[in-house]
């Protein structure tokens, strides 16, 4: 049985990408207003034709759907609106604290907005959303692997210059072609500057990617880390050192990190004493809410109320907020 206290307590979400988290209605509205060609014409078609809800061939196939967001993130007012709406929706869903992450290079790639202008716009939106809802929100700065080491260094410099605005740095994108070992130097500088580190790893690649995230990049948390289950030594290390895995069940299914729901290792991570949290990853493309992630974890992955109490405690303990 869940206690009344745990039922009423608000949730903490640690892994959601701000730059691809649009309401269906907002995405449809912006595409129309900006005159962008898109595979949908209205809110309903965003849900039925754009959202990726079935299992894709790979993470890369899912990432290829992200271009539309870059075209829509065109002005500071749009960035501010997107950030405000994410917080409003989080508040309405019963989330009390949320870490949102975005990639400055991805966000400004098409618009050409300066990274500083884009950051200020996102911050205004977060503040407005927080004022309206009381949700505690913070930002993580993502280094996009696919833009290479040079841009990675510039992104880390930007995060360090704006240390007051960022809780942590992250590495995301194509894990196979741009492995962790390419990014040792910039992440060392980030750690030296006192920024927390979380790394997307073990999502498209095997356990070696998680080892490298820990040993080469100093990751304190891992985004996904699904393939860790294949390596008993790594499982012990994650449990021993208390490295939290930010698990996003729907994303793991859609990007084929797991071949089927039955194969999801969430329960095995919990049983091994590894801290885990539940998050939505990219709700603007998977069309999923945090509540639905919890429901799927219960229905498809066999988690109990006691498991959810543990998960909620871990999220509150391991947040960078």
String of DSSP letters for 271-286? HTT--EEE--B-HHHH
> Do residues 59 and 204 make contact, with C-beta atoms less than 8 angstroms apart?
yes
Residue ranges in contact with Zn ion by CB under 5 A: 281
Kindly state the smallest distance separating residue 149's Cβ from Zn ion, in Å.
21
Q: Which is nearer to Zn ion, 28 or 281 (CB)?
A: 281
Q: Which is nearer to Zn ion, 102 or 211 (CB)?
A: 102
Kindly state the smallest distance separating residue 224's Cβ from Zn ion, in Å.
7
H or E segment and range at residue 99 = strand 95-102
Burial class of residue 37, CB neighbours in 10 A (0-12, 13-18, 19+): exposed
Among 107, 36, 101, residue whose Cα is nearest residue 66: 107
Q: Which is nearer to Zn ion, 281 or 293 (CB)?
A: 281
Is 203 designated active site? yes
Active-site annotation holder among 80, 203, 246, 293: 203
Kindly state the smallest distance separating residue 304's Cβ from Zn ion, in Å.
26
Quickly count: other Cβ atoms within 10 Å of residue 88's Cβ: 18
- The residue at minimum Cβ distance from Zn ion is 281
Q: Residue 170: beta bridge partners?
A: 142
Kindly state the smallest distance separating residue 63's Cβ from Zn ion, in Å.
10
Report the length, in residues, of the chain.
Answer: 321
SS3 at position 102: strand
Q: Which is nearer to Zn ion, 40 or 106 (CB)?
A: 106
Among 283, 286, 276, residue whose Cα is nearest residue 255: 286
Just list the catalytic residues. Answer: 203
């Amino acid at each position: 049985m869940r206690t009344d206290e745990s039922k009423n307590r608000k949730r903490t979400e640690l892994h959601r990408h701000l730059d691809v988290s649009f309401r269906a209605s907002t995405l449809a509205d912006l595409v129309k207003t900006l005159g962008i060609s898109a595979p949908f014409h209205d809110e309903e078609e965003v849900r039925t034709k754009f959202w990726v809800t079935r299992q894709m061939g790979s993470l890369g196939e899912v990432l290829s759907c992200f271009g539309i967001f870059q075209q829509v993130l065109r002005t500071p007012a749009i960035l501010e609106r997107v950030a405000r709406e994410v917080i409003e929706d989080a508040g309405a869903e019963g989330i009390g604290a949320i870490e949102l992450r975005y990639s400055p290079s991805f966000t400004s790639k098409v618009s050409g907005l300066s990274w500083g202008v884009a950051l200020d716009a996102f911050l205004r939106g977060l503040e407005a959303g927080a004022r309206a809802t009381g949700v505690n929100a913070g930002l993580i700065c993502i280094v996009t692997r696919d833009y290479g080491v040079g841009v990675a260094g510039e992104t880390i410099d930007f995060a360090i210059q704006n240390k007051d605005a960022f809780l942590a740095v992250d590495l995301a994108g194509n894990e196979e072609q741009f492995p962790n070992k390419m990014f040792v130097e910039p992440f060392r500088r980030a750690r030296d500057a006192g920024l927390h580190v979380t790394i997307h790893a073990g999502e498209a690649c095997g356990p070696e990617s998680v080892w490298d995230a820990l040993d080469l990049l100093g990751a304190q948390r891992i985004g996904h880390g699904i393939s860790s289950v294949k390596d008993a030594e790594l499982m012990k290390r994650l449990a021993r050192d208390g490295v939290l895995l930010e698990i996003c069940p729907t994303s793991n299914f859609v990007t084929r990190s797991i071949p089927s729901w039955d194969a999801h290792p969430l329960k095995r991570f919990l049983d091994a004493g590894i801290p885990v949290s539940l998050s939505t990853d990219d709700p603007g493309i998977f069309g999923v809410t945090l509540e639905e992630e919890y429901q799927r974890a219960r229905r498809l992955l066999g988690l109990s109320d006691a498991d959810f109490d543990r998960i909620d405690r871990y999220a509150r303990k391991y947040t960078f907020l």
